[in-house]
Amino acid sequence: MSKKEYLRKLKRELKSLPKGEASRAVDYYSELIDDRIEAGATEEAAISVMAEPKAAAMDIIADARERGVAIKKNDGRGGWAALAAILIILSVCALAFAAWALITQVFDRDITLAKIEWQEKNAVCTIDRAGEITIDMARSDLYLGCSEDDQVHITYYECDQIKVDIAHTENSISIVQKGKLRWLYDLFGSDTRRQTKVLIPAGFEGHIDSSLTTGETRVDGLICPVGKVDLHATTGDFIVYDSAMHDVSFTMTTGALILGRCTVSGDVTVKGTTGDVDIQDLGGSQLIVKTTTGDIELKSVVFTYVDARLTTGRITLTDVTAKTLLLHSTTGSIGVDNVSAWESTITATTGSISGTLSGSITDYTIESHVSTGHNSLPETFGNGPRKLFVKATTGDISVSFTENN
């Protein structure tokens, strides 16, 4: 058992004591464990000589009672309250079900929401090669692909409540969804969104900008090797395969990104919040990935500059080649497997850093720091052409090299 775990268990056993009384006891045990560790014991050994949290707590509570401290009676009232709440919820559900059964079976009324009558529509537009395509939709999936001729083909869906405005000049197309469904549809409705399909001529050199609120963006076979693609989504995911692009950016809130088998000649910028980012088989100039809690996974990726950072979550790199590599995780861990870079800066605050770097240790000039964790790297080492800076504040560093010598 670790010290943290021991103290957590002890604290739980002392719930019936007043806060100050309990925290003083926990502090006392914490101090004694620290003192034993300081005297040379391992954390494990220091804990093992302490009484089990339950036994220790019984002593503490018995003594507090003797000193006249008020002890809260832990008679499981919390448990009863929870049980009562569950019973109330169950009975409300049962009543609702009974009402529904009465209306539908006895009175033979249909109370489901009216079916949405989607109508498929098509538009074909000609656009300048360097034009601008803007898509703004609140309730739609989106498919971006390659057109078979030199025109833009749009397939979209409208219903009574939702219309799509397509405004078109010779160098711009804007596709904007208007109207909305009642909120009830989000809870009980079905078929509440369709996929808008936009097929763009191969070699389009302009700017594609898409914003979706709810809906998945799928990019497949898009060929815009010179232009710029900006994709935004609030709750939807991005799935991008087999496309050629120059600069591309993804901004998402809860959605995830899967990006693979693409050729990118410029920069890839990803800003995520809670969704995961998974990038495979990709090469380009700059790759910048930032998320808050989503995991970042890069596999078979070759970029001049790679910058991946997140707050909570895991960063995993497999077979990644870069000139400059920056990895940072605040509370998550970082794993590298066969990563090759000329200048690497890998930092973690509370997480650990582990894995293998390509080449032999003599290829590197190393600087590494840990504060409380274990470090497998020398703190300073060598004079090799590759620069490596690794820092873990409270986590461990266990990094090795693919060639041992």
Partner 1 sequence: MDIQLRRGLIEICVLAAMLREPTYGYKLVRDVEPYMEISESTLYPILKRLESANCLTVSSAEHNGRLRKYYTITPTGRERIDEFLRDWKDIMKSYYYIEREASNV
Q: Which residues bind partner 1 (CB under 8 A)?
A: 25, 27-29, 31-32, 34-36, 38-39, 49-51, 55-56, 59-60, 62-64, 66-67
The residue among 66 and 108 lying less far from partner 1, judged by its C-beta, is: 66
* Residue 177 token pair: 């969804």
The residue among 31 and 186 lying less far from partner 1, judged by its C-beta, is: 31
What phi-psi label fits residue 172: left (phi over 0), alpha (psi between -120 and 50 degrees) or beta?
Answer: beta
The helix/strand count (H/E) of the chain reads as: 6, 23
User: Which of 351, 367, 283 is CA-nearest to residue 319?
Assistant: 283
The residue among 43 and 343 lying less far from partner 1, judged by its C-beta, is: 43
The residue among 32 and 90 lying less far from partner 1, judged by its C-beta, is: 32
The residue among 33 and 334 lying less far from partner 1, judged by its C-beta, is: 33
The total of other beta-carbon atoms located within 10 Å of residue 74's CB is 9
The residue among 56 and 268 lying less far from partner 1, judged by its C-beta, is: 56
Q: How far is the CB of 55 from partner 1 (least distance, A)?
A: 7
Q: How far is the CB of 349 from partner 1 (least distance, A)?
A: 18
The residue among 50 and 288 lying less far from partner 1, judged by its C-beta, is: 50
Give the Cα separation of 195 and 218 in Å (integer). Answer: 10
Give the Cα separation of 215 and 197 in Å (integer). Answer: 13
- β pairing state of 195-200 and 296-310: unpaired
- β pairing state of 257-264 and 238-241: parallel
Q: How far is the CB of 303 from partner 1 (least distance, A)?
A: 42
DSSP state of 22: H
Q: How far is the CB of 353 from partner 1 (least distance, A)?
A: 24
Give the Cα separation of 194 and 214 in Å (integer). Answer: 11
The residue among 63 and 191 lying less far from partner 1, judged by its C-beta, is: 63
Q: How far is the CB of 31 from partner 1 (least distance, A)?
A: 6
Please, how many CA atoms are within 13 Å of residue 50, restricted to the half-sphere of its CB?
Answer: 31
Specify whether the CB–CB gap between 342 and 365 falls below 8 A. no
Q: How far is the CB of 56 from partner 1 (least distance, A)?
A: 4
* Residue 300 token pair: 């078979």
Q: How far is the CB of 35 from partner 1 (least distance, A)?
A: 3
User: Which of 253, 251, 257, 256 is CA-nearest to residue 271?
Assistant: 251
Q: How far is the CB of 51 from partner 1 (least distance, A)?
A: 4
**Residue 188: partners with Cβ closer than 8 Å, 6 or more residues away:** 112, 113
